[in-house]
Amino acid sequence: MKVMKFGGGCLKDAKTLDRVAAIIAHEGRKPAVVVSAFQGVTDQLIAAAAAARDDERTISDRVSRLWDRHVKVAEGAIRPVAVREETLRAIEVVLQRVERLLYGIAYTGEASPAIHNHVLSYGERLAARCVAGALRARGVAARPLDSDRIGMVTDDALENATVNLGRFRASFRRTAGHIKRGLYVPVVTGFFGVTPEGRISLFGRNGSDYSAAVLAHGLEARSLEIWKDVGGFMSADPDAVKAARKIGRLSYYEAAELSYFGAKILHPRTLEPLTGRTVEVRIKSLAEPGGRGTEIVRRVPARRNVVKSVTANEGLALLRIHGPGVGYKPGIIGRLGRRLAELRVNIYSIITAQTCINLLVDGKDARRGFEALKSDRNGVIARVDLEEDVALVAVVGEGMVERRGVAARVFSAVARAGVNVEMISSGASEVATYFIVDRADAARAVRALHREFFG
């Protein structure tokens, strides 16, 4: 059994939807499919929920825009009239629910996290109906399945939730039997599950990769394909480095670290549900459907060049907490962390010394975090600084931390390029070395490192 996941990058318009349907229909044995929302739709839903709170007059306009987009896609990719009509009706039913939820937010003037998540889940529900329609138009028996209806039960966390795999297996067993017998191709919604109390829980941005792995677990699939619109997994961002090359194989840890540091390849928790299973995981490219893509394996054999990829995340900021004894004060990191967690500010990394604690956070959250920490002085913290123009450069490769001389090569290459390294963390991960530079220097550092390790 194979699970195929198609992200928002593969679902842009009628043309890409048609290509996706062709790829699925081409499979010899009926696969299972997981989809993200069409590109940009999740962001539109986030904006719609925020706008509804302040002004109900925005709602019909925003819902019509979603309607127009999906109708255009469905009409472009689904020729047979009966299938097309049926798909349009399904889209209408789904959008009516979105509209009602948005009015609920407008009338109460608030969106609880559960309602907010519920609104966000509709991007995937819409996409699943479009993809199933496009498959039926090609004569493939296909059905949209909403993950909250097939028992994808999570823990209580509404954000970054974790699926209870045992429970999912149990409630999914019958449906799984039908799917494995090839009765139809299920088109399952990615991104969300449902808490034991029935609230919609999310797996985080790009969470559909994780959903796909959960489905692979539930179906005991042998193969999981994550389809992207880009040309596979590269040694660096090809827009930044012309000589970037394709990587044939990566370990689980390398893929997770690269995703964490901004390469956006896989949701960092994708491989969790596959622990203990033998599943072939591949990143495939819509641009080159016949290509082998990048294989993700448990362990890669040691190679001469241990570095696999160089990446930079330019969307970060540093919160620097100064005080003569901050490094020594018990509990201070816990307190800072809790304060930021309340504000939903995610900490990427912490680098500490006796007189300064450095928190690396998402750039868009930085100001919020800064204001909160600034007002939270209690004698230990002397000053809080915000540095907004920083980037994190990461060099990733299994075995690089044990291999003698790799760190020296990393930092001398960067120094030769005239880039000043502001802060270093090495050894925190067994497969990555990362450091912080001025945002303006990030691209130069990446190019220098790529030249050093890939020639």
The binding site for ligand ASP (CB under 6 A) comprises 7-8, 36-37, 42, 123, 190-191, 205-208
SS3 (DSSP) at 439: helix
- Residue 200 C-beta: closest distance to ligand ASP, Å: 13
From Mg ion, ligand ASP, none, interface partner of 233 (C-beta below 5 to 8 A by class): none
- Residue 163 C-beta: closest distance to ligand ASP, Å: 15
CB 380 within 8 A of CB 412: no
- Residue 7 C-beta: closest distance to Mg ion, Å: 4
From ligand ASP, Mg ion, none, interface partner of 207 (C-beta below 5 to 8 A by class): ligand ASP
From Mg ion, ligand ASP, none, interface partner of 123 (C-beta below 5 to 8 A by class): ligand ASP
Token digits for 406? 């790799």
Residue with tokens 């017998």: 181
Pick the closer one to ligand ASP by CB: 45 or 381: 45
From Mg ion, ligand ASP, none, interface partner of 435 (C-beta below 5 to 8 A by class): none
- Residue 120 C-beta: closest distance to ligand ASP, Å: 8
The two beta strands, 421-426 and 432-438, are antiparallel
From ligand ASP, Mg ion, none, interface partner of 133 (C-beta below 5 to 8 A by class): none
Pick the closer one to ligand ASP by CB: 48 or 445: 48
- Residue 194 C-beta: closest distance to ligand ASP, Å: 16
Return residues touching Mg ion (CB under 5 A).
Answer: 7-8, 36, 206
Distance CA 10, CA 17 (A): 7
Pick the closer one to ligand ASP by CB: 121 or 294: 121
- Chain-centroid distance of CA 107 in Å reads 32
Any idea of the CA torsion for 113, 118, 119, 125, to the nearest 10 degrees?
A: 150
- Residue 226 C-beta: closest distance to ligand ASP, Å: 10
User: What is the helix (H) or strand (E) element at residue 296, kind and residue range?
Assistant: strand 294-297
- Residue 289 C-beta: closest distance to ligand ASP, Å: 20
Pick the closer one to ligand ASP by CB: 42 or 429: 42
Pick the closer one to ligand ASP by CB: 36 or 429: 36
CB 60 within 8 A of CB 114: no
Handedness of CA 360, 363, 364, 369 (dihedral sign): positive
Nearest residue to the partner ligand ASP, using Cβ: 208
Contacts of 57 (CB under 8 A, 6+ apart): none
From ligand ASP, Mg ion, none, interface partner of 37 (C-beta below 5 to 8 A by class): ligand ASP
In sequence order, what are the beta bridge partners of 387?
318
Contacts of 120 (CB under 8 A, 6+ apart): 42, 45, 46, 49, 191, 192, 200, 202
Pick the closer one to ligand ASP by CB: 172 or 191: 191
Distance CA 295, CA 35 (A): 20
Pick the closer one to ligand ASP by CB: 44 or 171: 44
Token digits for 29? 């044995």
- Chain-centroid distance of CA 70 in Å reads 23
Distance CA 202, CA 121 (A): 8
From ligand ASP, Mg ion, none, interface partner of 151 (C-beta below 5 to 8 A by class): none
Pick the closer one to ligand ASP by CB: 7 or 399: 7
From ligand ASP, Mg ion, none, interface partner of 195 (C-beta below 5 to 8 A by class): none
Residue with tokens 């816990």: 334
- Residue 228 C-beta: closest distance to ligand ASP, Å: 11
Token digits for 367? 């100001």
